[in-house]
Amino acid sequence: MLKAQVFTLYPEVFPGPLTKGLYGKALANKLWDLSVINIRDSATDKHKTVDDTPYGGGSGMLLKADVLANSLDQNVKKGERIFYLSPKGKKFDHKLAQDLSKEKSISIICGHFEGVDERVLSTRNIEEISIGDYVLSGGETAALVVLDSVIRFLPGVLGNDKSSIDETFENGLLEYPQYTKPQIWEKKSVPKVLLSGDHSKIKDWRLSQSEAITRDRRPDLWQKYKKN
Ligand code: SAH
């Protein structure tokens, strides 16, 4: 079982969409577990202050190192990996999602305002990860993205354990196009090869479609794929 902990100023955001469908079932069946920790509970003054202005000037506020560190120290066990969601972080991807699904527990910090005091990142050995080259108002949506992509790798979560195997990124390619009933819709038929029952032909067709789509849309992935 994967035990995830999220540190946030907005605990009501979680588990949000992660309780829907197969993930909700998986949560009920204890294939994963989520604790949501309100960073504000670790503030020590009577106003429960969590942020302050940056030294050196500049706009906005920063999450205070002492408050965040208190929250982490009370809840994270030694040796557990801690992630801070940040646009400056290492780019989060399929491979990291898969790696994290093998951990026993992960802790994720959602930032707010202008970010967090840098000192807490180094003293608590925190790994910074970004979900993409754009800036969000807070880390909560990013945490949901990370958890969503990690949970699907947990054994038993997807109805069919094979269903993640063919998926986009799994073999370095984007997924081929898919079709379901009705066979003819708005005068368009599904590709004939898919009706042929010839599994090796279907496999070849799907691979060639995947390759064409990847070459067209993602030259970066295509270059890597060609090298392997
Ligand atoms: N001043 C910071 C941005 C702060 S955005 C900078 O320029 O680097 C506020 C919070 O949103 C961050 O603390 C982070 O937790 C979250 N966030 C914003 N963009 C993100 C991204 N691309 N990936 C992950 N988290 C992000």
User: Is the Cβ atom of 146 under 6 angstroms away from ligand 1?
Assistant: no
- Report the pLDDT value the prediction gives residue 160, as an integer from 0 to 100: 67
Rounded distance from Cα 100 to ligand 1 centre (Å): 21
CATH code of the domain made up of 2-151: 3.40.1280.10
Q: Are 153 and 97 in contact (CB under 8 A)?
A: yes
CATH code of the domain made up of 166-227: 1.10.1270.20
CATH 1.10.1270.20 domain range(s) in the chain: 166-227
- Report the pLDDT value the prediction gives residue 163, as an integer from 0 to 100: 63
Nearest-atom index, ligand 1, CA of 133: 22
Give the residues of the chain that fall short of pLDDT 70: 160-164
| CB-CB neighbours of 103 under 10 Å | 13
- Report the pLDDT value the prediction gives residue 189, as an integer from 0 to 100: 98
CATH 3.40.1280.10 domain range(s) in the chain: 2-151
For 167-197, letters b (16+ CB in 10 Å) and e give: ebbeebbbbbeeeeeeeeeeeeebeeebeee
- Report the pLDDT value the prediction gives residue 161, as an integer from 0 to 100: 63
- Residue carrying the six token digits 């906005």: 60
Instruction: Indicate the SS3 state at residue 17.
Output: helix
Give, using CA atoms, the residue closest to atom 20 of ligand 1: 87
Closest CA to 144 of 97, 210, 104: 97
Residues 6 or more apart in contact with residue 24 via CB below 8 angstroms: 18
